[in-house]
Amino acid sequence: MFCEKAIEIIRELHRMGDGQLPAFNEDGIRQVLEEMKALYEQNQSDVNEAKSEGKSELIPTIKFRHCCLLRNQRCIAAYLYDRLLRIRTLRWEYGSVLPTNIRFHMCAEELEWFNQYKKSLATFMRSLGGEEGLDITQDMKPPKSLYIEVRCLKDHGEFEIDDGTIILLKKNSQV
């Protein structure tokens, strides 16, 4: 039946949990595009036949093929767009440099989209306020406690923190 491959690639994407990006299914997309090409060519020849020989009984088949074409287009668009949304989330989660294993799952055009998105976002953030802008990918959670506990791994000697106090960092001490 037509459009089966299109549904299959969507199902595959849907199966992967929130936010995970599976490998780009280049093969699947190619198969759907080939099916579309075949359907279109069959329609072209039927349309010509219907026109020149007045075979109006071909028209339902033509309409049916057209519906399949539209469905395939919609499925492909949905698949690609959903991946873009996941990739967009990656910028907010991982920052502007993606881990290599994730990059492997992206096709070249997706990487290009990601780069453009990064640039747009950076331009926007820089424009905020007057001078250097504001990095809104930071401060994702409301500030809770001002102090954190730190265990020293190595002797570091004296360390000056934000408010000017000086702390002595000795190996294995907890501050």
| Nearest distance in Å: CB 42, other proteins | 11
Q: Which of 101, 163, 172, 174 binds other proteins (CB under 8 A)?
A: 163
The window from 51-59, 93-101, 135-143, 149-157 that contacts other proteins (CB under 8 A) reads: 135-143
Q: Find the helix or strand (DSSP H, E) in which 83 lies.
A: helix 59-94
Closest CA to 102 of 11, 29, 20: 20
Place of tokens 């492997």: 104
Q: Name the DSSP letter for residue 124.
A: H
Alpha carbon of residue 37 to chain centroid:
27
- The three-state secondary structure class of 172 is coil
149 near other proteins, judged by CB under 8 A = no
Show the tokens assigned to 72. 């395939």
3 near other proteins, judged by CB under 8 A = no
Closest CA to 151 of 167, 134, 130, 135: 167
103 near other proteins, judged by CB under 8 A = no
Within positions 42 to 61, which residues make up the interface with other proteins, using CB under 8 A?
Answer: none
Give whichever of 18 and 163 is closer to other proteins, judged by the CB atom: 163
Site of interaction with other proteins (CB under 8 A): 29, 33, 36-37, 40, 69-70, 73, 76-77, 80-81, 84, 88, 107, 109-110, 112-113, 116-117, 120-121, 123-124, 127-131, 134, 136, 138-143, 146, 162-165
